[in-house]
Each structure stands twice: as structure tokens, then as C-alpha cells.
Amino acid sequence: MNIEIIKFDNLGRGIGYIDNKIIFIPKSVPGDIVNIEIIKNNSKYLEGKITEIIKPSKKRIEAICPLFNQCGGCDLLNITLSDSLEYKLRKINEILRKNNINYNVEEIIKSDKQYNYRNKVSLKVNNNKIGYYESKTHKLIEIEKCFLLNDEINRLIKNLDVLKIKNGNLIIRTNYHDELLLIIETNDKIEDFRELIEKFKISGIIVNKKVVYGSDYIIDKINNYLFKISYDSFFQINPYICSKLFDLIKENTFNSKNILDLYCGVGTLSINASENNTKVMGVEIVKDAIDNAIFNAKLNNVNNMKFICSDTKNIIDKITKDFDTVILDPPRSGVDILVLNRIIKEGITKIIYVSCDENTLVRDLNILLQDYNIKEFKLLDMFVNTEHVESFVVLQKKK
Ligand SMILES: C[S@@+](CC[C@H](N)C(=O)[O-])C[C@H]1O[C@@H](n2cnc3c(N)ncnc32)[C@H](O)[C@@H]1O
């Protein structure tokens, strides 16, 4: 069946029509004419899989990765970087328009690296094979190298067979020094890891939450700040753009005196916001991350910071008009409604909202925009070659 691809959807899949019914086709490019197999048919839409490219789009390029068509990791490796940036801007502007948010985002900030930028990976081990699951399945795609990952992580992956793990989960993190932290969950007995320690700069190995070698954290450096990051604490995955996010935070907190950093992780944004001798209070649900944040404040000689370990919705009484700025950098699920309502009720002057999920961002903006105006809205290409994008929004209380 020949289909012409009309445009991308908001997940980076090509869209076509069969008898006026919409069909989503992953890895197709607008302008392609493709033969497809229908893999899902429900009352509202179809999903298809390319079986043959009859006529490639002028926008299509050869994907650098041989696993691109099977693997669910990258969505946009078959178009140029500049087309992928344009796509991300268009998708955010479309979602804003659909939600009646009257703002046109014009800038997307590029990552300094297009490939090998990720400092963290989660892998599956199935029957001694290491890789990612194929998109939406539990079928393992064995990988020897992933173009998104830091080179040292790729080199370690090639050597992991010495551990002889049959089944389990692996996380690998790295830092500015190319040190590696290896986190393993498995019921198998781990064979000797001496060979890995000889070949790599391993800062720690954690098996089933117990440290079996070195330490349970890694220290990273962004701009001139150092951050201790425990194996289970969040840290931004692309250091080649992270410094630009930090610069945006700094620019936009320049006049702030008292900042509340909700969802603060290991204190990254707080520490960047506090250079101007402001007071900062950070809130974070993960205990290790809060311990890291307290340590990181000292490590960077910042002494005007306080941190609380809690779910944000349990400390809403602490969200008061004493704060002139609130930073929100929530997980993909967005900000709890109780927290949004409290910020509005207290009338905090400025909100800086950093988001990795545009759907929850617009949901939350629709609530905040009753009392706030958008002062600045930029995108950051944090997740290069994938459909995901980071948003940076500054909101100012209406007069
Ligand atoms: C996107 S990360 C941002 C972290 C930090 N701002 C940074 O830039 O590194 C979101 C953080 O929110 C934390 N978190 C998730 N749900 C939370 C909740 N209900 N209350 C407080 N923190 C939460 C996560 O553990 C994670 O550290």
C-alpha cells in the first residue's frame, strides 16, 4: 500500500492518511512515499511500519546508525540536524496554539555536540545480550555502540561481557573526567570485575544497591561548578548544553533576592541561581539527591542555601510570598496542582519553568497564565536526534 507522508506528529512519527483515516508511521519522513504494513488498527487511527521506501523525501538522509530502524532510542537521525531543530520549534508552537497559548517560540539553543553527548545510559541484559528494548516491545536490540552515548560509555559496553551477567539491568554514568559509575541489578553472580578496573577509570560499581567497588557517586563539573551525584540522583544528561541552561538561570535570577527551587535534584539550578548572594531554598523528594545538594552548596562555597527533602505537595505551606522567584524543574509528570495553586495564591512575582515534557508544561501553563504573562520562552536541544526537547519559560506576575 503506497502512502505519502504529509508531516511529523508530536512524537517524531510521519503522518499519512488511508481513506481519510490517520496513520502514524515511525521512521518515515515528510515527503516520503512508502509501502507499509498496518500493525495497529483501532477506531480512531492506524499505526504502520515501513516495508519499502518507494520514493524518499528530499529531506531524508542516511541515518548514521545501522540500528536506527529497529531501535526506539533516536527518532530523527534520518533528517538533518537543522531540520530536526526546525521540527522541534514547530511542534512546540503547534501545541501552544492548540492550547490557545498566544506565544511564538523563536529560538532553539543547540547542543555543542550532535553525537556522543549522553552521560548516562540504562541497558537491559537478556540471555547474556546487552542492549535496548525495541520501541514498545520487550525485544532486545543488542548494541555494541550507540551514537548518543559518551565514547567512554560505549567503550565500557563493549567490555561488559567479562561480568558474565545473564539477565538484569545496567546503568552507566560518566563525568567530565570520563570516570565511570556502573550500577547493576541482577540475581546472577557477578564474575570478577578486575579487568574492567584495569582498563577503565571506574569510580564505583554498585550491585543491587550495595557498593562492591569504589564509591556510590560521581563528581561532575559544569561551567566552574562541581556536583556530587549519587548513583540514584538525577543529573542533566547532556553536559554539552547544560552550561547554557545554567547561564539562562543565572541571567534570569540576577535581581532575585529569595528563590525557591522546587524539584532541585542535587542543587544544580539553585547553585547557579545563588551566585548573586541570594537566599535559596531547594526541595527534592530523593534523600540522596538532597544530601548531595547540601554537600554541593559547601563544595561550591555557597552558604546562603537551605534544602528540604520532601514531596513538593507536602510543603506547600512553605511556599510563601517571601520568595520573589520560584524555579520549577519537575519530572515529566509536571507540577502538582496544589503547588501551582499555592504559587498563584501567594502571588510570587517570577516563575522559571524548565520542562522536558511539553504536554504537562502546557497543562500547567494554562493554569498559571491566568495570573502570569510569558516573558521569555526558549528551547534547548538537550536530547539531540530524538523528538524530545527541553523548554525554558520565564513567567512574570500580571500587574
Ligand atoms: C527534571 S529533574 C530536575 C533536577 C534539577 N533541577 C536539575 O536540574 O538537575 C526533577 C527532579 O524532581 C525530583 N522529584 C520528582 N518528583 C518530585 C516531587 N513530587 N517532589 C519533589 N521532588 C520531586 C526528582 O527526583 C528529580 O531530581
pLDDT in tens, 165-204: 999 999 999 999 999 999 999 999 987 889 999 999 999 9
Atom of ligand 1 nearest to the CA of 286: 25
Q: What is the pLDDT of residue 181?
A: 98
pTM (predicted TM-score): 0.96
Mean pLDDT of the chain: 96
Q: What is the pLDDT of residue 72?
A: 84
Question: CB within 8 A of 76, min separation 6: which ones?
Answer: 12, 83, 84, 87, 385, 386, 387
Which is nearest to 11 in space by CA: 94, 105, 124, 80? 94
pLDDT in tens, 242-291: 999 999 999 999 999 999 999 999 999 999 998 767 899 999 999 999 99
pLDDT in tens, 311-358: 999 999 999 999 999 999 999 999 999 999 999 999 999 999 999 999
Q: DSSP letter string over 91-144?
A: HHHHHHHHTT-------EEPPS-SSS-BSEEEEEEETTEEEEEBTTS--EEE-S
120-219: same fold as 1-60?
yes
Domain ranges of the chain: 1-60, 92-112+238-397, 120-219
Q: What is the pLDDT of residue 64?
A: 96
Q: What is the pLDDT of residue 282?
A: 98
Q: What is the pLDDT of residue 137?
A: 78
329 lines ligand 1 (CB under 6 A): yes
**C-alpha span between 175 and 170 (Å, rounded):** 17
- Cell numbers placing 173: 554514568
160: Cα within 13 Å, side-chain hemisphere? 32
CATH topology for the 92-112+238-397 domain: Rossmann fold (3.40.50)
pLDDT at 305 over 80: yes
Pocket test for ligand 1, best of 249, 285, 327 (most atoms within 8 A of CB): 285
220 lines ligand 1 (CB under 6 A): no
315 lines ligand 1 (CB under 6 A): no
Percent of the chain with pLDDT over 70: 99
pLDDT in tens, 140-158: 999 989 999 999 999 999 9
pLDDT at 370 over 80: yes
Angle at 181 between CA 180 and CA 184, to 5 degrees: 135
Instruction: With cut-offs at 50, 70 and 90, classify the pLDDT of residue 381.
Output: very high
312 lines ligand 1 (CB under 6 A): yes
CATH class in words for 120-219: mainly beta
Q: What is the pLDDT of residue 138?
A: 82
Superfamily of the domain at 1-60: Nucleic acid-binding proteins (2.40.50.140)
Which H/E stretch holds residue 42? none
234 lines ligand 1 (CB under 6 A): yes
pLDDT in tens, 92-132: 999 999 999 999 999 999 999 999 999 999 999 999 999 99
